[in-house]
Structure 1
């Protein structure tokens, strides 16, 4: 499968950067499109994100990745929610001219959570994909982050490690069961980045290997 990669600046309103870079990997015969934003402290070019895009490309999924403004400017602190949501809107608007389908909106951890918040504010998408949804802060299961999810009319798909400290007990399984169109695929032994004790510790290879499972959720 041939690939066409483009890097396109997406203008945004932000005090430190005038734009974020959208990295587009477009297979020649893509059957689905996904906009993928990173987790807190990451970036569009983090090894995990590189691996995920490559794995999905191998499955025939067109992927547009972008960094939140703080990451674009080299800062590691998470983007504040209003800025992250505004970035999602800008990137999805740009995706309409860069991807062959109305894309799914998805993200690693924080990126997926902010995608849901943006959809709740009217951002169009084919569905929502959560790669390690941060249901609660580690060690604080009483602080559930279920905001927006119950009221969203779109398909919602979850890929989650069973040893992810951002979920515990059966809370996430129960939530998915209560949503109108939702599915979850559990990665046995996986942590928040889907690394498994005794397994491959390279985040790029681990993320790439998840490509078939993510594609199956999109189908």
Structure 2
């Protein structure tokens, strides 16, 4: 599905389930795409518990860019496309999430998009080697329950437990969460199921 936003078109891959219990809109990081192993594992695990999953290739990636541009422009595009996806699945509770930069977007826009929860995969707490430039405020800005899943070897840092509803730190994982993607999916599904199943 192609959705036009103020920042250009986005492409949304929807994996529907029969009798969905909730809608999960999920996106990638700055240099990635919707085929990242952790995103596919999350899609599979969430589908298994009754979530219809919409994986979003954001406008900057559709245009071939690696940098997302200004947060305001990215957030405006996100809320527009989430609104369009929700129109297709009316009445379903919305969970939104992303990896790295996508996790930042999901947190910043949670209230505006009407999300009931956020899944933040590999939330980039700070630029590598720059812990004084913390982005923890974006986690708190979500205003809804936030699950943060990070690797203990993430060079972008690991959020503090106090800044999230639930923090899971996976041993041996880096920023790409690619060592055991199935575990990432399992963690997400286990957190979502009591809330939405």
TM-score clears 0.5: yes
Q: Residue 210 of structure 1 aligns with which residue?
A: 184
Aligned-pair distance for 1:162? 1.2
Partners in 1 of 2:29 and 2:141 — Cα distance? 23
Aligned-pair distance for 1:10? 1.2
In the alignment, is residue 186 of structure 1 matched against residue 160 of structure 2? no
Superposition pairs of residues 161-200 of structure 1, within 5 angstroms? 161-167=151-157, 172-176=160-164, 182-196=165-179
Q: Residue 203 of structure 1 aligns with which residue?
A: none
Aligned-pair distance for 1:132? 0.8
Q: Residue 61 of structure 2 aligns with which residue?
A: 71
Q: Residue 103 of structure 2 aligns with which residue?
A: 112
8 Å CA contact retained: 1:104, 1:126:
yes
8 Å CA contact retained: 1:24, 1:62:
yes
Gap change, CA 1:211 and 1:152, over 3 Å in 2: closer
8 Å CA contact retained: 2:79, 2:113:
yes
8 Å CA contact retained: 2:11, 2:58:
no
Aligned-pair distance for 1:89? 0.3
Partners in 2 of 1:59 and 1:9 — Cα distance? 26
**Aligned-partner SS, 1:163:** coil
8 Å CA contact retained: 2:79, 2:109:
yes
**Aligned-partner SS, 2:168:** strand
Aligned-pair distance for 1:209? 4.6
Aligned-pair distance for 1:41? 0.8
RMSD between aligned residues: 2.1
The alignment's TM-score, normalised by the length of structure 1, stands at: 0.78
Q: Residue 94 of structure 2 aligns with which residue?
A: 103
Q: Report Cα offsets for 1:178-207 as digits up to 9, x if no partner.
A: xxxx011221111111234xxxxxxxxx43
Structure 2 regions of 5+ residues with no counterpart?
A: none
The alignment's TM-score, normalised by the length of structure 2, stands at: 0.86
8 Å CA contact retained: 1:58, 1:211:
no
Name the structure where helix makes up a greater proportion of residues.
Answer: 2
Q: Residue 24 of structure 2 aligns with which residue?
A: 34
Partners in 1 of 2:19 and 2:119 — Cα distance? 21
Aligned-pair distance for 1:167? 1.1
Aligned-pair distance for 1:217? 1.6
Partners in 1 of 2:36 and 2:69 — Cα distance? 16
Structure 1 regions of 5+ residues with no counterpart?
A: 1-7, 177-181, 197-205
8 Å CA contact retained: 1:10, 1:91:
yes
**Aligned-partner SS, 2:181:** helix
